[in-house]
Structure formats: C-alpha cells, structure tokens
Structure 1
C-alpha cells in the first residue's frame, strides 16, 4: 500500500473537522466533504479558529499553511477518488453509515483504506454489502481528535489483514496513539471502560450517595489526575509495595464485591436523567454549553502542551 499522503474526510462536523486538522498539521493533503452545504460553507472558518487557539498554546506553527492543505469539495466522489485513506465521520446510525460506505466503496481506489469514526457500531454492521468491503475498518477517535490522540483500530471479519499494521504505523506518523482491538465487540475498548465508570456514576447518584458535582470532582481531582498520563494497570502496579499482584491480593476482594453488587444494572431512567440534567443546567445553563466546550478544548490544549515537555519515563 502507498504511504498515507492524500486523505478524504467524509463528514465535516466536530469530529470530521478535527480529523482534517490531524492530517493537515502532519503535512497531508485533505479533501473534506459534508452533505450539508451549510457545514461545508463554515468548515474552514471553524478549522482556522481551532488552529488559532492551538497556535496560542504552541501546538501548531503556521495556521494558514495548515489550513491551505485542506480543501472543501462539493461531492463525496471528489473527496475520496484519489485518496490513499478516507476517514468517514458521519452520523452514528447504521443506515446512514451503510449508505455512505456504499458510496465511498464505489468511488475509492482498489488500494485505498477507509476508517470509520464509529464510536461503538462495528464495521461489520454497515459494510457487509459495500463495494471493496475488505478495505474498511473502524478507526474510532476520541473527541476532539486533534487534541486527544487515541485511535481505536477495529477490523471487521473481512478486513484485509495487511491494513492494521499499515494504518497503525500511519497513525503513529501523524502523531496519534493507535491501539488495536483484536476483534469486534460492542463499544470497543474505550467506551466499555468509559461505560463502566458512567454506569457506576449514575448508580451512585440514583442511590443518593453523592451529587453529580461531587462525583465529577472525584474523577477530575482524583482518578483523572493519574489517568491523564497512565492507565489502570500501571496505576495499580504503582499503588502497592509489591506491584500489581500485591494490589490484586490486597484489594481484589473489594472490587469483586463491588462488581457483585452491580450484577443487575438498571437503565438510565427518564427520571434519573432529568434529575442530573436539572443539576447540570443549574451549574451550566444550556446557552453556555458551546462556550464551556471551547473552554474544555483550551484546557486540553494546555494539558497537551504541558505533556509535550515532560518525559514519558
């Protein structure tokens, strides 16, 4: 397969635009398409705003040089026909992804690779009958992908086996952090881990054990500090004098008891969601969500800038 030089991005919303930045800042040529004329019209302006914020934190250099590598095109075929790699980032629904995948599969080169930004739907659910289905897999980012580098690579049963090592290396060259999920599973790895924490957070709130704000504080000012630079296995390996096996002997029974207590998980009821929503809207009015999201991105930029100056070991 060719080196990843030319990219088609299909879907120009928050995730697709973030992907365009990932590719363009690494020197790749990007053609971006969205079915919405309104999104196409505003995509480059939004990308430039994000790049300007990143520049302020020292994360990118010449904003205009990066932006010039991205062109917004008026058809899907124009975006993907000459691409070495296509990143599909359309609405998270099987029928939508299947329709777009069929269109992409019919338009790409035989040796192109197509990654879907699907956050939980496996590629086999929407590529079974698409042309060149062996060229498709999931490449699930964390939002926003230009600030959070993790990418989950998840093949369908029919994905060409040569694609995973090629795409893993390509993502590393782009500055992303790829992980391989060896076979399809609902939610992949990231959302299964996130889901375990979310389900416990909802259950604790429903039981009246803590407010939503205090549960958030527990993660933001406790678990999240360590998790921002190391994962759960390394965390526990360092949290007992004898390492991970010592930790397992000391605290394994506690965690087993906690797991046993949640063997019949409850769905997030409308009443429960409503209560959390009211608490969150008191803390953050709906009109301020967009501004708070921009604040989040700037905090992520500051964290990324800090981590770049720190040794991994």
Structure 2
C-alpha cells in the first residue's frame, strides 16, 4: 500500500533510504537543513543509484517513474505533512537529534512512526524530545540501505510495541530485512561487531604484527567468503563434525585466551591513523573514492544475487 514517507537529512544514508521507499511505491519527501543539499547531492545520488539498479535488472519500474515519487520539501513541516513514516538521518550528535525530534513531534501527524538512523546512540537519549515518544524508535541501516537490506530496529524503553510492529512491517514490505533488538545497547548489533573488529585491527597494525593491507586481505579472502553466506555461529557449527558444541569444547579455551588478549581498547595514535590512511590512499586516492564506491556497489549487488541463489 502506497503511503507518504519523509526523509529528514539527505546525506548518503538519507538519500539511500529515499531510494528504498520510492522503489517500494511510496511518495517520498526530502528535507535537509543544509542549503542545496537536496538539489545538489540527494536527488543526483538517488538518480545514480536507481540507474545502477536499473542496469542490474533490479527495478520493476522505469527510473523516471520512481523518481517522480520523490520531491524536495521546502521545510521540515512540509516534508512530514501527511507522512505515515519519517526516517531521520541527521548528524550523529545528541543535541542535534533532540532538536530534530522535538520538531518532528510537533509537525508530524500524531500517528506517524518516527525513526532514527543513528549509528550508535541509544534512542532513549534523544527520542523522548518528541511529543508522544511511544511512536519513536531507532531503525539503524547498513550504508547504503538502498543496496544492503539489513536494518536494526531498536525500541527505547518507552517505544510502543505497535510502533516496532508497524516499522517492521513497512520496512519488510519495502524489501528491507529487519532485525529487532530486545533492548537498548549502544552501537546495536552490527556496529558493536564491526567496531570491535576494527579496534583489534588497529591494535594488530599499531603493534607491528601486519599491515593494513594484510588485515583487509584476511577479511576479504579469509572471513568474507564464508560470511557472505553464513554467520560466525554457523561457520563454527560447520567447522566441527559434532557441531557448535563440539567446536567450543575443543577450541573454547583458545577462544577465551584470544578474547582476553585482544585489545579492543587499544589507544591508537594520530600517527597510526595517518599511516593507515596513507597506505589506503596509494590504492584508492581520496579523489577516486566515488569511482571506487560505484565499484563497491556493483560488487554488493553481485554478492546479493549470490546470497539469494540467483
């Protein structure tokens, strides 16, 4: 069923969410407080993403028809007028998000679901700024949500059960793959796993065990081929003739020792960050990031076809 959706904040995440909703048949209004952000970035990004999806045969309608459902809004109030669902994707700052949700609470219809794309902040830190906070929750995507379907739904203690159910149904119908957290935790699931891995990677490079390129190869050529189809628990389950319990029985001691030795609290230096950046720039200069992103996006779509058995 078609409905009105508003995307507030139209950077890489907000514009990608607009693709998700417009592709699903919804009318999408875009608003960003930064002058020119919608016209100079978001609309172009949305069109480019739709062109890519069309080239890959992933659209059921012509690009022009999908684009016709996307409109710039003159104000936040204009964007949320008549909206059944609002996706906020503004700066990752509590004060900024509180101000936006206070405005959304006043301007959006009383029954609209108000969702935040926050990457790591617990929703209870800012969602209560909105009037009737029971309609608010976190809907944390993977960037870009236009290509990667996972979205983490995390209710605050005051979020109504109906709100979670409505958000889950709408996002699933739009082609997303929602995971619902039972309760709040900073970073949710994905970023707690991702940031922990990156922190230990910084430790390994910083202490001279390997290079940044070695880390990336270990992940892409070692972990990723299995992880593209099955998660770490099933990897362990299949790595033992007697399943997960047998895996842990034989390797649990080693797992605990490595966990204790990991340095996820590693105090990396600015020099280490600069050194890794310089190493990466040799492979992908900053000026070449857009082209490399386009390459990445094509690979993401190819991986998704593999995952679906296409």
TM-score range, shorter chain: over 0.9
Aligned-pair CA distance for 1:264 = 7.4
5+ residue gaps, structure 2, are none
| Superposition CA RMSD, Å | 1.5
Corresponding residue for residue 52 of structure 2:
53
Aligned-pair CA distance for 1:109 = 1.3
Aligned-pair CA distance for 1:304 = 2.3
Equivalent of 2:3, from 5, 20, 28? 5
State the distance in 1 between where 2:284 and 2:169 align. Answer: 41
State the distance in 1 between where 2:137 and 2:270 align. Answer: 34
- 1:166-185 superposed matches below 5 A: 166-185=166-185
State the distance in 2 between where 1:252 and 1:57 align. Answer: 44
String of CA shifts for 1:241-300, please: whole Å, max 9, x gaps: 111101111211111000111367322221221221121122222211222122111211
TM-score (norm: length of structure 1): 0.94
Aligned-pair CA distance for 1:229 = 2.0
Corresponding residue for residue 35 of structure 1:
33
**Contact 1:4–1:170 (CA under 8 A) maintained in structure 2:** no
Aligned-pair CA distance for 1:21 = 0.5
String of CA shifts for 1:203-256, please: whole Å, max 9, x gaps: 111121111111101101110111112211111111111111011112111110
Question: In the superposition, relative to structure 1, how do residues 307 and 259 fare at CA in structure 2: closer, same or farther (>3 Å)?
Answer: closer
TM-score (norm: length of structure 2): 0.95
5+ residue gaps, structure 1, are none
**Contact 2:196–2:264 (CA under 8 A) maintained in structure 1:** no
**Contact 2:20–2:146 (CA under 8 A) maintained in structure 1:** yes
- 1:260-279 superposed matches below 5 A: 260-262=260-262, 265-279=265-279
SS in 2 for 1:230: coil
Regions of 4+ moved over 3 Å: 305-310
Length, aligned pairs only: 308
Aligned-pair CA distance for 1:4 = 7.0
State the distance in 2 between where 1:133 and 1:147 align. Answer: 30
